[in-house]
Amino acid sequence: MDDQQNTTAGYGFGIGVYLVWGLVPLYFKLLDHVGAVETVAHRITWSVGLLLALLLVLGKVRNLGIIFRNRRTLLALTASATLIGGNWLVYIWAVTHEHILAASLGYFLNPLLNVVLGTVLLKEKLRPATLAAIILAAIGVAILAVSALDTLWISVSLAVSFALYGYIRKVTDAGAIEGLAVETLLLSPVCVAYLIWLGMAGGLMFGASLETDMLLIFSAAVTSVPLMLFAAAAKRLTLTTLGFIQYVAPSMVFLIGAFVFNEPLNSGQLLCFALIWAGLALFTFDSIRTAHANRTRARLAA
């Protein structure tokens, strides 16, 4: 896959989703009195209704039947559902237990894994400037990892699960909404069963207050809309490009953790931040220059 397969719509979807994800910790911090497992269970359960309603409005409900009859696609979405469910669980636990910086490191690591998957599995080619940008970012991430070894398990699990999720969604023949609907449908029986059990045990937070209930219900939109944008971006961008755009979100999360919630910030983390953004600036400049050269060649060939 080459740069000419990066589309304007892909950049729009990608930048949009990562801007939203960069602000998500502020939302789930409001739910820090709710257990991480219950929050994830509500995210998935309420998302089913939202996604089915969208499919009904768009006239795409029958596409679900096509997916469920395709064994290969269904197995792929079962794997992606498991990965994203685990990713949400670890992420929410980290946010609600004062480990937002560790969560941001996970998503700093993720673009590097995207590059590895893109070059090894999808044979995406790296230009020299892109390789230099990757090296800068990798050095920064390594510094940050060494400075946060006690919470490295959070970062690694988030990075690996989301990188694999992105790869599966990119190569799976399923629409953004339809694929996400199948994923939530596959996860929902376990989530509903857990919420029923939690309610019977007297530990269910849903119903404790109107504010909490509305936050849990609206988490469906906070969950589903960005993932639909992500799936659309993944179809329209190379994994390398998608990975570098992703640095927008963890950078925002990093700043929120350090300056909004006052989590401890050390010199290693600041150096990491500077190196990653230097790599991102180099990648962005090279991408703009290459896109301009491609347009010029296209005009001359016309």
Phi, psi of 60 (to 5 degrees): -115, 15
- Cα–Cα distance, 78 to 30 (Å, whole number): 30
Q: Who's near 7: CB < 8 A, 6+ residues apart?
A: 236, 237
- Which three-class secondary structure state does DSSP give residue 48? helix
At residue 1 the predicted structure's pLDDT band, cuts being 50, 70 and 90, is: very low
pTM value is: 0.76
Question: pLDDT digits over 117-175, tens only?
Answer: 777 777 767 778 878 888 887 888 788 777 777 788 888 899 899 889 988 988 898 88
| CA angle, 273 then 277 then 282, to 5° | 155
Question: pLDDT digits over 72-87, tens only?
Answer: 999 999 999 999 999 9
- Cβ proximity of 254 and 246 under 8 Å: no
Question: pLDDT digits over 34-61, tens only?
Answer: 988 999 999 999 999 999 999 999 899 9
- Cα–Cα distance, 209 to 70 (Å, whole number): 43
- In the chain, where are the structural domains located? 3-301
Instruction: Give pLDDT, residue 70.
Output: 94
HSE-CB at 261 with a 13 A cutoff on CA atoms is 21
In the numeric block, the tokens 């409001």 are attached to 30
- Cα–Cα distance, 252 to 283 (Å, whole number): 18
- Cβ proximity of 1 and 238 under 8 Å: yes
Q: Who's near 6: CB < 8 A, 6+ residues apart?
A: 236, 237, 238, 241, 287, 291
Distances (CA, A) of 94 to 51, 174, 259: 27, 31, 17
